[in-house]
């Protein structure tokens, strides 16, 4: 199999519900979709969708510019030899992890289709199907946060992520206590600040909530700040935005800075990068999730396939943006949340079918 053409599409993902965190509210993000055509009947799909408008390393326009460099380099390469695909991309540019991740996902999709196997089977097999997920409770009043927590638990959710930060810590503390009071036995509560607290604020919150069963996720802006706070916390610490690569994750585990991770698939090289992190976390008995910042059915399917291969007791879930999306790319098998879980798409590769012309005309094409 050889790559003959790489098409790039842009699509605005309309939202049906609000989503806010410490730094901003999310509003109809622009996703970038990659379609890899080959000298066979198979095509592969990849996707990368930074959450906007937020301060971050990559945005849609920078990712599309990176694909302008990477796309031509893939022509003639065998997409089933994914290691060599990465070598070809490395020979062209440093960085560009979002664009590389989208290409990596498309190559795994092709590999599965070529061998009539699901991606999760190529990764060793699904240990969970359906896959557990967690649901976000956006920043709000203690009353509205607790009410949503009760609703989500009634719907079958066993993992809740309460957003915090961007306001006085007393408001966060009140919301945390309110949600903790209604959290049922067997339900996990994660307080995710998305880098919104200082070290001192993190310590104040942990002290004020020291008798509550919860996990604090990425409270501070940098790895160093989180490491400083970690020494004085009364709760486990999860790294998210600071978990940027395999070396950093290995250091966080060995030094005791992190008790687990909230991993983003397209931050660390796509399915290939997430496979390496999965194996490291399994070897060190470290919990992690398999998420992404945002995206449609392509991203969601990739996260669910990889997430299904985690040991259940080490899985923090596979988050997808399905509850906020106006529609699916694949109306039948697009991943969706039912009773707090997500079924793995059944077909080969990613297991989803994109209708012809769904994304309109490509914004760029390389052949």
Catalytic residues: 163, 264
How far apart (Å, rounded) are the C-alpha atoms in residues 337 and 346? 15
The residue count of the chain comes to: 367
Cα separation values, 158 from 11, 147, 304, 316, Å: 32, 15, 17, 10
| DSSP summary character for residue 365 | E
Other C-beta atoms lying within 10 Å of the C-beta of residue 337? 20
> Quick one: which of 349, 334, 333, 342 has its CA closest to 310?
342
Task: Enter the tokens of residue 184.
Answer: 């049922």
| DSSP summary character for residue 290 | E
How far apart (Å, rounded) are the C-alpha atoms in residues 227 and 246? 17
How far apart (Å, rounded) are the C-alpha atoms in residues 118 and 271? 13
């Amino acid at each position: 199999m050889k790559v003959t053409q790489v098409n790039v599409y842009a699509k605005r993902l309309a939202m049906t519900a609000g989503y806010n965190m410490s730094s901003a509210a999310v509003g109809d993000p622009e996703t970038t979709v990659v379609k890899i055509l080959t000298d066979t009947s198979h095509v592969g799909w990849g996707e990368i969708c930074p959450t906007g408008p937020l301060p971050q390393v990559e945005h849609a326009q920078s990712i599309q510019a990176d694909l302008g460099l990477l796309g031509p380099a893939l022509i003639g390469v065998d997409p089933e030899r994914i290691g060599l695909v990465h070598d070809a991309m490395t020979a062209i540019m440093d960085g560009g992890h979002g664009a590389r991740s989208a290409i990596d996902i498309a190559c795994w999709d092709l590999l599965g289709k070529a061998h009539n196997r699901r991606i999760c089977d190529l990764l060793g097999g699904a240990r969970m199907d359906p896959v557990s997920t967690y649901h976000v409770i956006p920043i709000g009043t203690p009353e509205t946060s607790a009410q949503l927590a009760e609703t989500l638990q009634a719907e079958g959710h066993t993992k809740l992520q309460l957003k915090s930060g961007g306001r006085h810590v007393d408001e966060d503390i009140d919301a945390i206590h309110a949600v903790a009071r209604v959290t049922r036995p067997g339900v996990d509560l994660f307080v995710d600040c998305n880098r919104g607290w200082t070290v001192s604020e993190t310590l104040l919150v942990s002290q004020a909530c020291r008798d509550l069963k919860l996990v604090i996720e990425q409270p501070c802006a940098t790895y160093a700040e989180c490491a400083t706070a970690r020494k004085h916390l009364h709760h486990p610490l999860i790294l998210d935005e600071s978990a940027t690569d395999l070396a950093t994750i290995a250091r966080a585990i060995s030094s005791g800075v992190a008790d687990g991770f909230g991993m983003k698939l397209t931050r660390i090289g796509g399915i290939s990068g997430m496979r390496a992190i999965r194996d490291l976390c399994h070897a060190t008995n470290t919990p992690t999730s398999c998420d992404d910042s945002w995206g449609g059915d392509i991203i969601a399917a990739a996260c669910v396939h990889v997430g299904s291969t985690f040991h259940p007791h080490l899985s923090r879930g596979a988050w997808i943006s399905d509850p906020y999306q106006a529609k699916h790319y694949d109306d039948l098998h697009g991943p969706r949340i039912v009773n707090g879980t997500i079924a793995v798409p059944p077909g080969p590769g990613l297991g989803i079918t994109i209708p012809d012309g769904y994304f309109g005309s490509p914004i760029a094409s390389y052949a």
